[in-house]
A and B are shown apart, each in its own frame.
Chain A
Amino acid sequence: MLSQSRFAGYLAMNTKAIPQRPRSTQSLLFVSLWDNCLRHIRLDMALDSLSPCWLAAIFTIFIASMTAAPKNTWKKGRAIGLGVISGVFLCEVILRIYNPVPPAVKNGKLVLPANQKKTFTNNWISKLDKQIHYSRNSLGFRGPELPFNPTAILSIITVGGSTTECKYLSDSCTWSSRLYEKLHKENPAVWLNNAGIDGHTTFGHLLLIKEYILNLKPRYLLLMTGVNDVELDQPDDFDRMAEKKIDTRSAKLLLKSLVNHTELGRSFMNYYQLKVAYKKGLIHRETDLASLVDNPLKEEVISAKLAKQSPYLIAYRQRIDSIITLCQRAGIQPILITQPALYGNYIDSATHISVGNKWMAKDPLGDNCLLMEKVLESYNDVLRSFSRKTSVIDLARLMPKNSIYFYDFTHVTNAGAGKMADLLYSELSLLIHPVNKK
Chain B
Amino acid sequence: MLFNSFDFLFFFAIVFPLFYFLPGQYRKVLLFIASCVFYMWFIPYYILVLFVTILIDYFAAIRIEGRETKSRKKNMLLIGILNTCLVLFFFKYYNFFFESFNFLGLTKIPHWNIILPVGLSFHVFQSLSYVVEVYRGNIKAERNLLVYANYVMLFPQLVAGPIERAQHLLPQLRTCNHRISYQDILTGATRFFWGLFKKLVVADTLGVFVNNTYGSYAEQPGILLLLATIFFAIQIYCDFSGYSDMAIGVARMLGFRFNENFNLPYFATSITQFWRRWHISLSSWLRDYLYIPFGGNRHGKLAMYKNLMLTMLLGGLWHGASWNFIIWGGLHGIYLSIEKALGLPSLKLRNIFFRFTGWLITFSLVCFAWIFFRSPGLQQAGNIIKTIFSHFSLHDVFAIDKTELGPILNDIILLFLLEWFIIRKFSFDNIFEKKYGDTYLAAFSTFLILYIFLFGNNDNSQFIYFQF
Contacts and interface: CB of A to CB of B under 8 A. Distances in A.
Are A and B bound to each other? Answer: yes
Interface of A: 1-4, 6-7, 10, 35, 39, 42-43, 46-47, 49-50, 53-54, 56-58, 60-61, 63-65, 67-69, 76, 79-84, 86-88, 90-91, 94, 98, 100-101, 113, 115-121, 264, 267-268, 271
Contact of A88 (B20, B402, B450): B450
Contact of A90 (B9, B406, B447): B447
B426 interface: no
Contacts of A98: 406, 410
A61 B185 contact: yes
Contact of A6 (B13, B216, B410, B461): B461
A60 B455 CA distance: 24
B204 interface: yes
12 contacts: A3-B208, A6-B460, A10-B459, A46-B5, A54-B6, A54-B453, A57-B12, A80-B442, A86-B439, A91-B446, A101-B455, A264-B450
A42 B449 CA distance: 17
B457 to A, nearest CB: 5
A268 B454 contact: yes
A1 B462 contact: yes
A271 B455 CA distance: 10
Contact of B439 (A10, A49, A79, A117): A79
Contacts of A76: 182, 438
A86 B459 contact: no
A121 to B, nearest CB: 8
Interface string B1-33: 000011101101100110010000000000000
A61 B459 contact: no
Contacts of A116: 401-403
Contacts of B207: 1-3
Contacts of B414: 94
Given A61-B189, A68-B184, A90-B443, A42 B458 contact: yes
B419 interface: no
B397 interface: no
B87 interface: no
B438 A80 contact: yes
A68 B181 contact: yes
B404 A118 contact: yes
Interface in B269-312: none
Nearest to A82: B439
Given A80-B438, A90-B447, A91-B447, A35 B403 contact: yes
Nearest to A59: B13
A100 B404 CA distance: 9
B450 A7 contact: no
A83 B457 contact: no
Nearest to B451: A91
Nearest to A120: B212
The interface centre, meaning the residue of B9, B16, B207, B414 with most chain A CB atoms within 10 A of its CB, is B9
A87 B444 contact: yes
Interface in B390-423: 399-404, 406-407, 410-411, 414
Contacts of A53: 6, 9-10, 13
Contacts of A84: 442-443, 446
Given A68-B180, A90-B443, A50 B10 contact: yes
Contact of A54 (B9, B438, B459, B462): B9
A267 B455 CA distance: 9
A271 B440 contact: no
A53 B15 CA distance: 13
A97 to B, nearest CB: 9
Contacts of A101: 407, 454-455
Given A1-B461, A3-B459, A100-B410, A60 B446 contact: no
Contacts of A50: 6-7, 9-10
A35 B401 CA distance: 11
